[in-house]
Structure 1
């Protein structure tokens, strides 16, 4: 299928006001990996695994379409984890030599070690993206780990400089992103939950690294900044943040000045004061209107209420309803119902504005 970025894509042009999307991961089928589990080992190997992953990708695409999602993704069906699956394809990182590090100042994890110069020897997700492009004419969003979040998921025994390693990863990510655009991806999203933790580094060099990662891309670009998956370590951390979560206040002003096109933020059932969205007025904003940390299905009215509140600070043509974060830890039937609620809530608000 001929590649075309979505700005010239008639299928994207036909999408309605408030186009919906997911933040990234979606649950995997039980025959592919252990359900509701991050870093779950694959249940198959070799050609059988590739076939199963492609089957899962087809299914997750169909489930997004049935739910009414406008901008679709692969649901990360070929990845065990949103960061480490990319890293394991790079030179210079030893997955056998592991160290325990503190992830985003929140929980300990055993991680691989950077032992030499990092390099991308071959494309990582490009064949997966090309396969997805063959299945649909809808706009595709593809998530990659952001440079700062990558360095927070490793032990660095080579560079001994967070900034230098982040810039090396940014160059690698730019190579991958360019090839993904060539495979037909319309929006490249960089996942940077670390932006909600390391504020000084974000403003000193983190956004600069992100700019390097998006340099020269012909597609639109997004940065996803959330408070994490709906796992216990993250929900426990959120309870320590007080009545107002104002982390975005420290990074959005500089992001507004950046070349990133879209900012993806966690909004529903969070304690983020929505007036902080004013800090990126003029950018497109993926407004998280689905809570991924519980099994309760939002009603369309609840989704519409979150989006309606965001409209005070985001122009209507720049508001993109989304999930708060990835949904991999959720049961599949819960995720399906939440996606349907997201689409229905966006439709409610769309109808409301049309009546005006």
Structure 2
């Protein structure tokens, strides 16, 4: 991407009301069969049109074709039982009913490749596609087969690598692995988490990113944030390891958070998707607020490596709010871009 400060979204966008219940995470689909397939792709094209209309440079599908950012991928794997679920603690924050690994896990076939081909055929803009990371996948399951988080993570890394290579071949420019678990299980991140992530991204013909955030603006996440004190220093644990990794881009939360901005120095040299939009609030940022966040980041990241982004996905927000936030992101980036050319 040659443009200075190219804008992008970290994750999901709200789904239209004819596809799923608005402002609800992981809402069931309102259609089925062929109608659902067509509706998902209509929603994908609509999300693309919204991004382009609001000036977003690097576009995505807005995760319109998946119900959940992790389990929709897992639904397409062998060896996982979705009928007899078990309750587990997700990222040490909240309990959830999750599928169970009952046998050797393998990929049935391509999961998102056909959807990515639709997106690629619909735009000339660079496209980014998100996949769950290995550690976040094992944290969203009950394992009744492998008995080792690390062993299962390596299995998932192999499967993700298969999918990622096919997405790259379909014309995806950036593959992003979502790893919110990296903000919680620091010893695992250092011992095998980053290595498993690198395996998932190995040998790709496109750029790779890892997205590490503090979660959607849901009650469980908001309550967890209240326990983190006046400074959120979780990135301090993982950034040094990621700086040494083969991952090209690091996506992080910044605006309206308590992350000390000087932690960005720990990944100097990497491209950074800096979250300049708060996804936990319906208040729409002003372009100047976005610009102020970007200026702070520019103290610790070279301008050619800064990609203005959102803190996380915006699926739970009203569609008009999410779209307005994307517009503010673009306008704020343009303010700072002009400061470099003046």
Provide the rounded CA distance (Å) in 2 between the counterparts of 1:32 and 1:214: 32
Q: CA deviation at 1:252?
A: 0.3
1:137 aligned counterpart, secondary structure: coil
Query: CA shift at 1:354, angstroms?
Result: 1.2
Correspondence 1:200 to 2:187: yes
- SS class of match (2:236): helix
Q: What secondary structure is seen at the aligned counterpart in 1 of 2:208?
A: strand
Write out per-residue CA displacement over residues 290-329 of structure 1, whole angstroms, 9 at most, x where no aligned residue: 0000100000000000000000000000000000000000
Cα deviation per residue 1:247-279 (whole Å; 9 max; x = unaligned)?
Answer: 000110010000000000000000000000000
How far apart, in 1, do the equivalents of 2:294 and 2:79 lie? 44
Among 51, 67, 90, the residue aligned to 1:103: 90
Question: Could you say what secondary structure the match of 1:264 adopts?
Answer: strand
Specify the SS of the correspondent of 1:272. Answer: coil
In structure 2, the partner of 1:254 is: 241
2:145 aligned partner? 158
Matched ranges for 1:138-153 at <5 A: 138-153=125-140
Whole-Å Cα distance in 1 between the matches of residues 26 and 80 of structure 2? 18
For residues 183-222 of structure 1, the aligned pairs below 5 Å read 183-222=170-209
Asked if residue 304 in structure 1 is aligned to residue 295 in structure 2, the reply is no
Structure 1 residue corresponding to 2:7, chosen from 8, 16, 20: 20
- What pairs with 1:267-306 in structure 2 (closer than 5 Å)? 267-306=254-293
- Cα distance in 2 for partners of 1:50, 1:147 equals 27
| CA-to-aligned-CA distance 1:237-256 (integer Å, 9 cap, x gap) | 10110000000001100100
Aligned to 1:173: 160
Structure 2 unaligned segments of length 5 or more: list them: none
Q: For residues 323 and 198 of structure 2, what CA distance do their matches in structure 1 show?
A: 34
What's the C-alpha RMSD, in Å, of the aligned pairs?
0.5
1:51, CA displacement in angstroms? 1.1
1:30 aligned to 2:17? Answer: yes
- Cα deviation digits, residues 182-222 of structure 1 (max 9, x gap): 11100000000000000000000000000100110010000
Q: What secondary structure is seen at the aligned counterpart in 2 of 1:251?
A: helix
Rounded Cα–Cα distance in structure 2 between residues aligned with 1:260 and 1:230? 27
Aligned residue in 2 for 1:40: 27
The equivalent of 1:86 in structure 2 is 73
- 1:223 pairs with one of 193, 205, 210: 210
> What SS class does the counterpart of residue 173 from structure 1 fall into?
helix
Post-superposition offset of 1:24:
1.1
| Residue in 2 that maps onto 1:69 | 56
Q: In the TM superposition, what is the alpha-carbon distance from 1:352 to its structure 2 partner? A: 1.0
Moved more, 149-158 or 44-53: 44-53
Is 1:137 aligned with 2:124?
A: yes
Report how many residues are paired: 342
**In structure 2, what is the Cα distance between the partners aligned to 1:55 and 1:148?**
32
Mapped pair 1:321 → 2:308: yes
TM-superposed CA distance for 1:351, in Å, is 0.5
What CA distance in whole angstroms lies between the structure 1 residues aligned with 2:145 and 2:328?
A: 47
Unmatched 5+ stretches in structure 1: 1-11
